[in-house]
Amino acid sequence: MTTEIQPSDQDLCSAVAAGDEIAFGRLFDRYHRAVYNHAFRLTGSWAVAEDVMQSTFLVAWRRRGQARLVDRSALPWLLVVATNAARTEWRSARRWLAALRRLPPQREADEDPAGDVAARLDDERQVTKILAVVRRLPRAEREAVALCLWSGVPYGEAATVLGISEGAVRSRVSRARARLARMVTDHNKEEVR
């Protein structure tokens, strides 16, 4: 029985930079789930996360010659591309909602949701609550939380991708944790009142 040796991210990225679509498919297969989960944590919506993941890999293909490996991994670069795609999606959604609010209201048809819709909505509600708190953090701390805490990128890799020192990443994560703890405590006190 022979085991197939998997190409490294470096090998795949080199092939992708040369236009190899099969290598790009392998890179997608390797990281699409991690990018999708990262996008969900950023957006709080499974549907939007799907769009962000697709946008991420579209951008990755278009910028295939600019991919930056961190410790021989393409994942940190893909997560930063996903973070930027989520920001773009957020701006587009705000503009779209503003346009909808200008339209006259319409009657909604009765809907019979499918079985897993309730579970998806619960997930989205919980993540929306978390995001409401996390969005109050300064942008630099939000990025560190998204990369290091949510997506498990090591501090050193996050530092390389963000263009700062590892100590700065650790400091941002530490400050974010302290702020989040205070915010949650304050929120819980307000609910008790």
DSSP character string of 73-111: BSHHHHHHHHHHHHHHHHHHHHHHHHHHHTSPP-PPPP-
pLDDT at res. 184: 76
Q: Is 135 inside a domain boundary?
A: yes
**Phi and psi torsions of 114, nearest 5°:** -75, 170
List the beta bridge partners of residue 121. Answer: none
As for how many domains the chain has, the answer is 1
Q: Is 113 inside a domain boundary?
A: no
Using alpha carbons, list the distances in angstroms from residue 118 to 47, 65, 94, 122: 14, 42, 25, 6
**Phi and psi torsions of 70, nearest 5°:** -120, 120
Q: Is 72 inside a domain boundary?
A: yes
Q: Is 107 inside a domain boundary?
A: no
Q: Which of 57, 72, 70 shows the shortest CA–CA distance to 24?
A: 57
CATH number for the domain harbouring residue 52: 1.10.1740.10
**Cβ–Cβ < 8 Å for 169, 148:** yes
Asked if residue 9 has pLDDT above 60, the reply is: yes
Asked if residue 192 has pLDDT above 90, the reply is: no
List the beta bridge partners of residue 73. Answer: 70
Q: Which residues contact 150 (CB under 8 A, 6 or more apart)?
A: 38, 41, 42
Q: Is 158 inside a domain boundary?
A: yes
CA distance 160 to 63: 18
First to last CA, the chain: 66
pLDDT digits (tens, 9 = 90+) for 105-127: 655 555 555 556 666 666 777 77
Q: Is 187 inside a domain boundary?
A: yes
Q: Is 4 inside a domain boundary?
A: no
Domain of 41, in residue numbers: 9-102+120-192
pLDDT digits (tens, 9 = 90+) for 125-162: 777 877 888 888 898 998 898 888 888 889 998 898 88
Q: Is 40 inside a domain boundary?
A: yes
